[in-house]
Amino acid sequence: MPQIKAAVLRAFGAPLAIEEVTLRDPEAGEIEVTLDAVAICHSDISFAEGGWGGALPAVYGHEAAGRVSRLGAGVTGLAEGDFVVVTLIKPCGTCPSCGSGKPTICETPTIEPPKLTDAEGTSIGAAMNCGAFAERVVVSASQVVALPDDLPADSAALLACGVITGVGAVVNAGRLHAGEDVVVIGAGGVGLNAIQGARIAGARRIVAVDMSEQKLAMARDFGATHGVLATGEAPWKDAMAALGGRGADVVAVTVGATRAYDEAQRYLGWGGRMIMVGMPHTGAMAQYEPAVNAYMGSSMVGSKMGDVVIGRDIPWMADLYRQGRLKLDELVSGRWRLDQINEAIADTKSGAARRNVILFDRES
């Protein structure tokens, strides 16, 4: 069993510590992936702050890319050396959700032997089915998608979560039709990808709403036709003016803030769909007036990981990237070493970063 370096969290809210840990061998149906890159997602930060609970010690990280380095028994369709994206989505393939084409909400509990142990033999959780703030991971073969070798690892890693979540929220969950109008609340990493998804799907107008002028300018680079500052007294009125005096067909809430959810329905037009992507901390509550939904025929739709089917959607998005129609390189705002992970997290929390990526030097 290999000894690897990993960023371990031992207390919620504490810095991550780079430790040497033992990674078990892949079992039947599993593979080992030696990572080239892992991005820092706000979900990792929320978990590490204790916002959603969970057991410690743990290794977070779930947005990764690398090469298959070992195969467990019974794995087919993959070979050592294949370049893959590693996701947290672990479909069983047989439960009602998987059987109906919704693997992101697989109903089968994840039960597997511990993957990581420290020098004292204590088990360390590989959080979100991955534990990718580490040099290598062991995951189910169902969690990865093989991609062409010419994709840059730092950009490809983003296809594991942020990109598929944002694009899929609009295209899959929102069922956006060409010519419809979209409002995206939050122009961070996921929001920018929701904007890209709306552009690719043929939206007529795309209004980005954010607290930052800088992010609104960035949103235009990714396809937004208009930008609205959320700091105003009634930003939904500004958005409605940008949409020609009517509400949006799709409103994607990509930030985990209850205020955003309280106000989101004000942006909706008749028959509009509010797509709920951002996740506030456990226990946070939002308010809405149900009579408005009933009267206007509008709806609220939860979207986990963009409702993607990874074997279908990740290759599609990778191909869009190779055609120059989907921006990935531009999403990477910083590249860091594993021993700089706490600085990279701090930079991500500052709100200025799109996606910070940890790169692994295999020769070190």
Name the band, by pLDDT with cuts 50, 70 and 90, for residue 112.
Answer: confident
Name the band, by pLDDT with cuts 50, 70 and 90, for residue 362.
Answer: low
In tens, the pLDDT along 231-270 reads 988 999 999 999 999 999 999 999 999 999 999 999 999 9
Is residue 93 domain-shared with residue 77, that is, in the same domain? yes
- Looking at residue 260, which CATH number applies to its domain? 3.40.50.720
In tens, the pLDDT along 78-109 reads 999 999 999 999 999 999 999 999 999 999 98
Q: For residues 361 and 145, which has the higher predicted lDDT (pLDDT)?
A: 145
Is residue 235 domain-shared with residue 279, that is, in the same domain? yes
**Cβ proximity of 102 and 109 under 8 Å:** no
For position 345, what pLDDT does the model report?
A: 94
pTM for the complete prediction? 0.92
Distance CA 231, CA 221 (A): 21
Distance CA 329, CA 126 (A): 28
Mind giving me the DSSP string for 14-57? SPPEEEEEEEPPP-TTEEEEEEEEEE--HHHHHHHTTTT---SS
For position 354, what pLDDT does the model report?
A: 85
Name the band, by pLDDT with cuts 50, 70 and 90, for residue 353.
Answer: confident
In tens, the pLDDT along 273-305 reads 999 999 998 899 998 889 999 999 999 999 999
**Cβ proximity of 42 and 350 under 8 Å:** no
For position 110, what pLDDT does the model report?
A: 79
For residue 108, the enclosing domain spans: 3-160+327-359
Residue 313: inside a domain: no
For position 51, what pLDDT does the model report?
A: 87
Phi, psi (deg, nearest 5) at residue 315: -60, -35
pLDDT at 364 over 50: no
As for how many domains the chain has, the answer is 2
pLDDT at 363 over 70: no
Is residue 333 domain-shared with residue 283, that is, in the same domain? no
Is residue 149 domain-shared with residue 56, that is, in the same domain? yes
pLDDT at 76 over 90: yes
pLDDT at 352 over 90: no
Percentage with pLDDT > 70 across the chain: 99
For position 184, what pLDDT does the model report?
A: 98
What mean pLDDT is reported for the chain? 94
Neighbours of 79 (CB within 10 A): 10
- Looking at residue 26, which CATH number applies to its domain? 3.90.180.10
Residue 242: inside a domain: yes
